[in-house]
Amino acid sequence: MSSLIPAYTQVYKEPVAFQKALGFAFEGLVNAGVAFDALSVWKAVEKRIGEGIYMGSGLLLPHTRISGLESPLMAFAVAPEIQGISTSCGETAQFLCLLLSPAESATAHTVAIAGVAKLLLDPEWKTKALACADGAALKGLF
């Protein structure tokens, strides 16, 4: 189990465009009740996307670190395919984890990423996540 519970979860039953899934995930974090400068964070996320966000195992991991954030804030979505983003070796992206972490804590950032990676290395967890009926069921897997 991951110690980090997503503030926003979404299950797409059909393939979804990366920009659409990312937009809804970001909006979910903006509305999660944690104060941050949405415009500057969005620009930082866009910059990170330009540097590459495919992590393997079907995971897209746009992430950035934010000054003043108390703890990591995560949005997580699954889909049969997340389209419009390049992956290595022609793999299919199926998981989107948008992660905002405190700039002041490299440990919190690393632990959050490790927790997500551990889940996605478990084929049984991945199958359960892709089979979830809705965001609430997906959130329950964390």
Phi-psi group of 70: left, alpha or beta (phi > 0 → left; psi -120 to 50 → alpha; rest → beta): alpha
Mean pLDDT for the stretch of residues 112-134: 94
Question: Residue 138 pLDDT more than 90?
Answer: yes
* pTM score above 0.85: yes
**Tens digit of pLDDT for each residue in 2-15?**
468 999 999 999 99
pLDDT above 70 covers a percentage of the chain that reads: 98
Mean pLDDT for the stretch of residues 77-84: 97
**Strands 16-17 and 82-83, bridge-based pairing:** parallel
Q: Are 12 and 26 in contact (CB under 8 A)?
A: no
In 16-59, which ranges are continuous DSSP H helix?
A: 18-30, 38-51
* pLDDT at residue 88, rounded to an integer: 76
* pLDDT at residue 32, rounded to an integer: 95
Q: How far is residue 61 CA from its own chain's centroid?
A: 5
Share the mean pLDDT of the chain: 93
- The neighbouring-strand residues paired with 60 are 54, 96
**Tens digit of pLDDT for each residue in 13-69?**
999 999 999 999 999 999 999 999 999 999 999 999 999 899 888 999 999 999 999
Whole-number Å distance between alpha carbons of 102 and 60: 20
Whole-number Å distance between alpha carbons of 104 and 78: 29
